[in-house]
Structure 1
């Protein structure tokens, strides 16, 4: 389901996504309240959600939908890259955050990742979060009952925190995407961390990422 208050954006996104046979667009909405109502009626697997919508904004709509229907996954697609939006959205229950300037291929990759139960952040968003933590913005301690990670799991976690997608991690490490997904699942279970922001914070506190001067991925 696509939620965006700009008709041209919705129609253009729908046309592009319909070229992928595994994806089916079951509904559209143009404001937050309508998004909640249609989600309750249609029960989509995933909602592509804009933030800036009239009535309930995307953040409020996300919270309401996750409260009523926690099984529905939500991927935020927005032009806003400010840290205040990133943290609020991740706290609202959304599974992913992607900028509207991203290519359609990245949107499809994000859809698949979120559908598999992963958290997805575009590289630009991951870098912004890293800069905020390392730069002294938000440094909340990670308190987890964790088990030791293997060398490979630590390597995968570092690449996740640096903004690599599962597909690119697989290519870099000469492994299959399915193997990377298995590693990601084991990492989350061992660390008792179940969102991307938490994994990034953990990797920063362990000193496993390069910080604000990391290369653009």
Structure 2
């Protein structure tokens, strides 16, 4: 009898410790989906632990149920976002341009943007004019001109409008399509709002923009009297 009681106590303690270990591990993963899945599993085990303690823990159990419900709703939303993202024709490019973020965060970028098929000569930026979007070239090429002088060519995976995104300053160069070009125009305000709500997304976006600006500055330094980086 005593041995059975001791075994039961030890088993319940094991459940409690298992719950907290899983919760701690959830804080180490970088995927928001897996964080929520692990947190939900942890709280389910914790409810079983609370029920077997013999104490009146109805308040704690009630909060666990509420947190589980919130997590299940967010898991469903993330699953829907992943399903939509996986159907995108430019998913591989988006993942390459924005490494380190999951499909849910890519979905936030996509929600802030729209795809456009542009004709040769179409302008993505006009020197001295503010840009309201951050453009990602998906297909085709664009040329960059500063004071009418050709300084660079841009291809798939390159961004246009980084300076405007960071500072809201006018474009430092004019950018036009060399041929048929497909781009994603990401609204500056909507992307900034999404980044404010998600520090991981904000870090990824600013890292990508910083790297793009660094490449363009390096290219501008190789051009005499270039006048600065592309927009």
Q: Same fold (TM over 0.5)?
A: no
TM-score normalised by the shorter chain: which range applies? Answer: under 0.3
Q: Which has the higher contact order (CA 8 A, sep 6+)?
A: 2
Higher helix share: 2
More strand by share: 2
